[in-house]
Amino acid sequence: MEVKEASGKLGILVVGVGGAVSSTFITGTLAVRKGLSTPIGSLTQLATIRLGKRNENRFPKIKDVVPLADLNDLVFGGWDIFSENIYEAAVHAEVLKKEDIECVKDELVAIKPMQAVFDQDFVKRLHGTHVKTGKNRWELMEQVREDIRNFKQTHACDRVVVMWAASTEVYIPLSDEHKSLAAFEKAMKEDNKAVISPSMCYAYAAIAEGCSYIMGAPNLCVDTPALCEFALKMNVPIAGKDYKTGQTMLKTVLAPMLKTRMLGLEGWFSTNILGNRDGEVLDDPGSFKTKEVSKLSVIDTILQPDVYPELYGNVYHKVRINYYPPRKDNKEGWDNIDLIGWMGYPMQLKVDFLCRDSILAAPLCLDLVLLADLSQRCGFSGIQDWLSFYFKSPMHAEDRVPEHDLFIQHTILKNTLRKIIGEETIDYLD
């Protein structure tokens, strides 16, 4: 496979650049490249990859054999509905200690967000003050395209990746306007705000500018047939959706365990408490509905109730998210799992995961921007389902069933990297 060299600077434009996830991701990456921190949680920076047969004992680090962009070549920017620079945003988010932010203060202060495309109807609990104005969605999208071009020129970037790390938008169903590129463009020009969300404006603009687009929230966006069609037309990679961090990450590990052992499942109750801006947004029923659909899809897909009706045909699955300001970014995810074992005897599994949402998401962001850029240099286009490892609700072709099992996703990810560097894929039968 011919892979273009990762030469020049790589621009990383983040939608929601002043949010907790984004500011944590950027601060940590800057600290890592200064040698002040370790990129814990990042496969591209720390993980090894087995090459060849087991008896060859070849386990180099991924970053040493896969032609990824160098961290020193990354240039950060983006859009936000608030005007504070990324130093101020990181302090405000209260995820990182002040001393960890201070070590890269000068670089963070220099990153000032561009005005964002914002619609109060799509994120009801936030009130943006640093927003674009335009007569319709098409005009707003064109402004985003101009932002991308200006950023690329100003910072002498060779390539740009656009990533959504902003809030979850309210739930909207797939409509006729989303089913073809022509209908989608018509809806943008007619300013059909009911079906064209702000995130879709960013996705269209990124694809139009030839930039990879990563969807980090669960809302309907780049997974529409129209934007998938556009990505293929423009030879642009797209990936998503909804970063797989806390509770859902555990589900993609625990559900395969139950299925592998042929243990039955009667019910799975999940609840979360979260106090950051994400928790506030999800306190709105419309935004929660979007997140709920994403989180509920995992278990059914893994357990295949149609195939195993006696084990999983009548599972009661409930998900709750509760806004609790005192916790700030420190989320607690509690799961009660009612199992069925030999001869129908009941058992229970309880999990209490006290995690840090942005700390788990930040390394995923780093991996995704590097792998999306790699995809583009490989000539890949359209849905990158080999990146499903990183998402709660992974995008997939219409004729495919999504893969949710974390370990199968991990194997697919590494086998794709092996193909990229000309090595044999591994089936673990040797």
Structure tokens at 395: 């995008």
Bridge pairing between strands 346-356 and 330-340: antiparallel
Structure confidence at residue 133 (pLDDT): 96
Q: Is the dihedral of CA 252, 42, 290, 399 positive or negative?
A: negative
Question: How many beta carbons lie within 10 A of that of residue 233, not counting itself?
Answer: 12
Closest CA to 71 of 423, 373, 398: 373
For residue 304, the one-letter residue type is Q
pTM: predicted TM-score of the whole model, two decimal places: 0.94
Instruction: Yes or no: say if 272 and 321 are a contact pair by the CB < 8 Å rule.
Output: yes
Predicted pLDDT at 294:
65
What per-residue confidence (pLDDT) applies to 72? 98
Q: By the 8 A CB rule, do 363 and 27 touch?
A: no
Along the chain (430 residues), what's the average pLDDT of each consecutive run of 10 residues?
94 97 98 97 98 93 98 98 97 95 98 97 91 97 98 98 95 96 98 97 98 96 97 98 90 94 97 80 74 75 94 94 87 94 98 94 98 98 97 89 91 97 88
Dist CA 343 CA 84 (whole Å): 60
What's the pLDDT at 334? Answer: 94
Distances (CA, A) of 6 to 132, 152, 197, 370: 33, 16, 33, 10
Q: Identify the pLDDT of residue 429.
A: 73
pLDDT of res. 293: 74
Backbone angles phi, psi at 356, to 5 degrees: -115, 110
Element (H, E) at 227: helix 225-234
Domains of the chain are: 9-243+359-420 (3.40.50.720), 247-356 (3.30.360.10)
In this prediction, residue 295 carries a pLDDT of 65
Question: Are 207 and 157 in contact, with CB atoms under 8 Å apart?
Answer: no
Specify whether the CB–CB gap between 362 and 351 falls below 8 A.
no
Task: Kindly give, in sequence order, each residue whose CB lies less than 8 Å from that of residue 301, ignoring residues fewer than 6 positions away.
Answer: 401, 402, 404
Residue with tokens 């642009």: 236
